[in-house]
Amino acid sequence: MTGLDPLIHAPARLRIVSLLAAAEEAEFAFVRDQVEVSDSVLSKHASALEAAGYVEIRKGYVGKRPRTWLRLSARGRRAYLDHISALQAIVAQSGLSLASEREPANGHPG
């Protein structure tokens, strides 16, 4: 199985890419707050993802305040979807279902 991407497998990067996959683009501070990392950590992850061609970084202004926006590139979207498919295949191979794992053996919740 080759769909797992080590660059986006790290938890923070996977959360960043997953968040960006659901949006046209997102403002840096929003991503930082959602992923619950510091500015410097997000900046490092965003730079690594940009270097791989997975994320596009756009800088501009809102009024006189500088802003940074992140966007998942087409290449990044493909890598993310391949990664998720590989994770789903691993789970499917185990024969486990998340729903069945949450129910007690007697079949009654709680």
Hey, what's the torsion of the CAs at 71, 77, 80, 86, to 10 degrees? Answer: 170
First to last CA, the chain: 37
Q: Which helix (H) or strand (E) holds 97?
A: none
pTM, two decimal places: 0.82
How far CA 20 is from CA of 12, 74, 93, in Å, comes to 12, 11, 28
Identify the CA nearest to 56 among candidates 14, 34, 28, 84: 28
| Domain residue spans of the chain | 6-93
Dump pLDDT digits (tens) for 16-69: 999 999 999 999 999 999 999 999 999 999 999 999 999 999 999 999 999 999
Q: What percent of the chain has pLDDT over 90?
A: 78
CATH no. for 6-93 = 1.10.10.10
